[in-house]
Amino acid sequence: MAEDQTVHPDADRFGGWFWREPFRGEHFRRCGFCGSIHPDDLAAETDWLAHWADQKYGWPHKFYVDVVNREPEALFATSSTWNTRGKSGHGEVAWDDLTPEQRALYDRDHGMAPDRGHPASVGFGTRAVHNAKFYTIHLSDPAIDEAVKVTIEQRSGVHFTFADGRVTWGAVR
């Protein structure tokens, strides 16, 4: 199902864009086109700081944010080594020694690439935070509540105005 076309006008060439339900152990939705965290889910988080990306597009188009993991004890496949010449020394488990549960974690967190095979070994660990990105163009979506937009602008320090296919920005008032 394609969402509002003001956000990703070129997405139709690739089947449109949509909000993907939480996956890979995260508790928030992401845009199926650009990977942005959903504005509602970002605004609902109480402890984050925007780390602005470069402004190569001429305006503050994206920031990164660490979202606190609601299940900090949960395991993730955090690394993999494709070198088959020996162990990396980082505590990875050899692919052939993985338990079914460990293989399921690897598949969840990295997905299988049939054309590439599998890594030689996989490392596991916990995450205090999930790394997310937020594309500010999602604030132009008319389906996003104004209070959500205001919350994100206040926390990020930048106010956006989207009108007539253009964006302007400035300090939060």
User: Does any domain span residue 110?
Assistant: yes
Residues 15 and 49 in one domain: yes
In 3-state terms, what secondary structure has residue 167?
Answer: strand
Residue type, 18: F
Q: Which residues constitute the domain of residue 138?
A: 11-67+133-171
Residues 111 and 137 in one domain: no
Say whether pLDDT at 4 is over 70: no
Q: Which ranges in 2-76 belong to alpha helices (H)?
A: 39-44
Give strand ranges (E) for the chain: 19-20, 30-31, 51-52, 62-68, 76-81, 93-94, 121-125, 129-135, 158-163, 166-171
pLDDT at 17: 92
Residues 121 and 167 in one domain: no
For residues 160 and 154, what is the distance between their CA atoms, to the nearest angstrom? Answer: 11
pLDDT in tens, 98-107: 999 999 999 9
User: Does any domain span residue 5?
Assistant: no
What is the bridge-based pairing of β-strands 51-52 and 62-68? antiparallel
* Mean pLDDT of the 150-172 span: 90
For residues 77 and 122, what is the distance between their CA atoms, to the nearest angstrom? Answer: 7
User: Does any domain span residue 100?
Assistant: yes
pLDDT in tens, 107-153: 999 876 667 788 999 999 999 999 999 999 999 999 999 999 999 99
Residues 57 and 24 in one domain: yes
pLDDT at 90: 65
Q: With cut-offs at 50, 70 and 90, classify the pLDDT of residue 12.
A: confident
Domain count, the chain: 2
User: Does any domain span residue 3?
Assistant: no
Burial grade of 4 (CB within 10 A; 0-12, 13-18, 19 or more): middle
Residues 103 and 146 in one domain: no
pLDDT in tens, 18-64: 999 999 999 999 999 999 999 999 999 999 999 999 877 777 999 99
pLDDT at 3: 64
